[in-house]
Each structure stands twice: as C-alpha cells, then as structure tokens.
Chain A
C-alpha cells in the first residue's frame, strides 16, 4: 500500500501528460475518466434506445433517409430487420447497465468521492485503481467491435442482455464453427459480448476490492464508520455486493463462453435440439442453471445500480434542505438490509422460468420484504425535507426528482414481486416500466444530481444553473411521458422485446401509446443535448466555484476545487457526523466535519 504524503505535491509536476491524465493513478482523474467514458456510452445507449422506440412506434415503416444511413437496404424493405431490432435492445440494455450506470455510479462517483469524503489522500491501491479503469477498455472495444461484425444482420449480440440459453449459448456441434443455429446474432456477436463482460467484471472486481479496503483502512482520524456520509456507505455496501456476487457472474460468463467456443454443454439439456436441418450435440446441462447464476449476480446488480445513487441523493437532499439527514442510522441499516435481502431474491426474475414453484413462494416473500428498507429510505428523505429550508439548486431538483420517481419504481416492483400478478405481467412492458423507473428515472436522476453537485469539485467551475434547470424540467416531463405509459401498456399485456407490437389483438390496442412514448423518447433524447452543452461549456467557461460553493459539511469541500494531488493540505480530523446543518445557536447553517464544536450539542451522527 502506498500512502502518499499528505501535502501539496509540487514535485509531481514532472509527471508526463500520459501519466497524469491517461494512465493516471490519481483517484480523481480515474473518476473523471469513468465519468467521461460513461457519458460517451450514455449517448450510444440512448441512440440505440431511440432506434428501438422508432421501430416500436412505426413497425414496418419505410425509414427513408435514416434507412439509407444505417444501410437498411431497399432489398430489406428499407427498414430495420428483426435481427437488428434484437441487437439494438440487447445492446441498449448491455451498454446502459454495464457501460453507463455501473461505471458512472461506482466508477466515477465511487472513485472521485470515496477518498475525498473519508479524508484519504488516495485509494488504497492506486495502481489497481488504474487497472480497474483500463480493464474497462478491452470491454468497450470488444463490445463496439461486435457492432461491425460481418454479413450477419445485426452482428452484435441479440439474445437480450440476460442472454438466456439456449438461444444465446447454442453453437454448432464440435468443430462446427462458432456461429449459432439459433439466431444470426448469437454467434460471434454473443461470444464478443461474453468476453467484453468478463473484462468489465474483472474491472468492477478490482474497483470493489479497492473501495472496501480504502473505506475500512484509510478513513481520516475521527471518521468513524457512523460518521461517514451516506454516499460512502452506499459505495461501501455496493462494493461488498459486487465482491460477493460478481464472481458468480464471471463464472457463468466463462461457462457460456466455453459452451459457445469448445462446445461444452453446461447449459445444454440432454437430448438433441433441432433448428431445421441443423442439430446440436446432446448435452448434459440445464438452461435454467444460467438463469440462477446470472440473476444471482444481476439481481444484486440492480442494487449496485441504485444504492450509490441513494447515497448521493441523501447527501444532496440533506445539504440543500440545510437540515440533518432524518434517521441517519436507519438509513444505513436500510442500505445494509437492501443489500442483505438483495442476495436472496434473485429467483423473482424466474417465477415463470419452470423452476419449482415452491421456490417461487420463498423468493416472493423475500422480495416483498425488500420493499421495506426502500420504504424506510423514502420516508426518511421526506423527513429530511420536512421543515427544512430547501434550496432548489439543479442538484437538489434532480435529487427530489429521484425521490419522486423512485417511489413509482419501488411501488411498481410490488406488482412483479407478487407471484400471481407476475404470471400475467412477467415479460411485459410493466417490467420495462419498472426497470426504467428504477434505472433511468431514479439512478440517472441520481447521477445527474451527483454531477451537478460535484462538478465544481471535479473541475473547479459551476455548471450553469438555468440551463441545468431547463434540462431537469424537460427530462422530468419527457421522461415521465416516455416511461409512465409503459405501465399501462404492460397492464394491457404488451410483450417486451418484440419487433412488431401490432400483430396481436391485445397489443395493437395500445399502439397509440407506443407512438406517444416514441415521440416522447425522441424529445427526451433531444433534451439531453442541453446537458451536453452545459457540461462542456461549464467545463471551460463556468463560474469559478471556490472550495465550498454549496456550503456543505463533508470533507471534500474543505480542499480546493479541484483538489490537488494528495487531496488535503493537512490530514483532516473529523469531529462529528456529516449532516450538521442548521445547528441551533450558530450563526452559520452548516458545520464542516473538521470543525470542532465546543458547547454546542451535536446530534446522532457521532
């Protein structure tokens, strides 16, 4: 472990550009690298989503100029092919989950905030940290490469981000090549998809080990566990989740890769499967095994994608309510509760999968109970804003947006958790609505809140508040217009992942809503341009921020913006919890964690 000396390192100027900004070992630069790559992939994922929406709104329509750009040849009717559609939604989900939400939340904010918020000069393992970022890149590149695959329509993986066997896993018999008889895009595209995710998994693993070690070992003097800001708690628990769940996914990915390349049969059932003239070798495995392994990681992954956002939002809400966080300890316990229960609910993705229905009952009860800590968190956020003194900055608006919409996402989860209701709404747009309310409308609002909140600390400049508010306003409206109707079409039974939603009676009933959602989605996409412009404009020409523009309490605001190499001029000493706002009897409405208070009562966070 190489703990840097904690003073301003003028002598570090001799670091070359590459060492400083590319292969940097500085957690702040790595965080910012994660931020940029996450945002770039957000654009890709967004474009893919719009293509999906285009198809759903107007299936079989002649796409004219767009078709020419995307090489939808006249011979294919100048429209998307079903294979391409499958690729688009598969890659949309994969990119958004593995390349956007997880890297942004844990990679960008985790890296940037953890050492700063606990008063450490850097991560425990800076080199590992650098590797964690650079292990993402093979993943990025392989995933992008798969888009350019050969003659296959689509080329890139198209078996859904869940990649269920046997559709995804099946290859030709031994020596028969890597292409799949099941679908054009589960050949090489799928193999690249698997390889890419293995890299991403390794990267996340390195990150989580680093976070855990840093948080346990490198807290500043006085920074007890229960004086840590909730962002750090969120990251801590997330890292633990990742450390325990990721190996399972990695193993599953490796097994499927073996199935596809050297024709092992981990996920292939006994008996020959037939695809017209093509047949496979009889296997000795089970397709459902993959689902267990996959969801054993991917359900906790849902919490990996929300817990850090919850932490960020807690910090932002407390700061801008100028009020101590309501129920700090219950909040921490709730995070732990979510994480703990999160490990035993994976089966709720599999209620209809053909596993023993008795298991379903068990998973159902666990799943229903996981709503409890989420509810506690929501009530505590409401408690924090109650009789606060709210400052509606853009960051605060986004955090409030998170709370408002997380309620929807959380409550709609109850429908799916209920096994009998799930029989009907499983694999319909209801689940799509749910996942987008949790991951887009909640996590992404959390990310936006985090960006607006820490942008000044990252780059020393403030983002434009007016543009930020317009961006929030439009995103909030169009986001709801895009995702809310999904509940209704889901209740009507509209299946997810279908190329043409007008083929059946119950689905064509809601085609108007499909078009409405598509138009809203385009507008939602357009609204993000405001954010992009604001982001880059503020990067260069934003208002100088100063150390603590938000008059916040936590340690990162005690250093200059951006913080120097090594973070703190002197090792900070912490005297109390992070949320001491509006302490009675004090002139100022905030008390930095480093400020020792004499004779003033300081509440729970000690």
Chain B
C-alpha cells in the first residue's frame, strides 16, 4: 500500500519534471517567471470551481488559467496599464475569490494546505493520466513551436521580420504554462510550481552551451530534485512540494559551488 502511493508520486513527479525542464528554460529566457507565478496562484480559483461543479480539479485549474490568459491578452490591447499591473489585478483577484469560495466549503478548507504546498497522498491513478497525458500534449506543443519560439525569444523584431507569427506563439506558450500548472498542482502545490519550473533550469544554465542542452539538463536536474525531495518527504514526514523544492535549491547551491571551484581552478 505504501509502495503504491510512493511509486505513483515518484512517477508523477518525474513526469512533471520532464515537462518543467524545457518549459522552465523558456520562462527564464523570456523573463516570464512572474507571469508563471501569478498564473499559478490564480489556480486556487480553479480548485474551488472543480469542487463546486464536481469535475477534475486539473480541469478547473486549466479552465481558470486559460480564461486568465485570454483576459490578459484582451486587456493588453489598452496601453494605459502595463502587463505586470494587469497580471496582479487578475491573478490575485482570482486567488482571493478562490480563497473566499474555499472558506465556504467545509471539506476543501481542511485540504487547503495540500493544494497550496502539494501532497503525495493525493496522487491517484487518474492524476497520473492527467500528468502524462497533459505532459505529452505540452511537450508536443512545445516541440512543434520550438524553433520559431526560440527565434522570437532571441530577438522578437528580427523574428517578426522573418515572418514568425509572434502574437500566436506567445499565446500558445502561455497556454502551455497553464497546462503545466494544472498537472503539477497536486504534487508541487500552487505556491511552489514556479520554483520547480525555474530552479532546475537555472541550475542547468551553467553547464549548457545550447538552448536544447539547457532544456534537457533542466529536466534531468528536475528528476533528481523530485527523487531527492520525495525520499526526504518519506523519511522526515515533510510535505512533498517543499521537500522537492528544497532538494532543487540544494542542487542549485551545489552548481554554484561547482562553478565557483571551476573558475578558481581556471
């Protein structure tokens, strides 16, 4: 029995780490960490919706995140308020409405911490289907737009001059982030998802010479963090999300030390 849920958590965590590597790399390159964070926070409203309408929570999160992306794109047509301002208004309104809604639901109130910080006990077989199905869709999406997305990340105007459909790609990329937030929420937790996207990719930066190397290495480092974090979580009975992120932070520190030593030797 114990083995069962542990294997599911490990399998699920690895699935998420594999997707988080390339996606997190792009979030770093495009300086969208803040966007990812805000979007993830708004996912709580999706959890409340999921409960209210009795659908999969992932579906509720995905719906709310996509709605938020659409509203953001629509509101950006006016130029008076900057994108970051709009993001705060939208995301934290969603988070707060979600918290208010949750306070009305007895059963959910008890579970609130597990949605904020992740819970390996919550991972059932259906969640694994979500993680690997959603993860495969996200990776396929990313692979399909990889080259033009990279071109516009390097220099948007140059890419546009070469005929890259910049606005459409930006939208698809935001949807990919929404998808990963939906599938990662249960294991990592709403408040911590962005860190699993960012920290492994940032750790990989030092060792990569090409974008593709960084993305692949980030996936690998993410898997290590998931393995280490879950082992720690089981051993010390700590919440799974923070344990995984702590492991990722330790790996990042080690990479800094390794890089420091390398530069001294040089």
Chains A and B form a bound pair: no
A residues near B, CB below 8 A? none
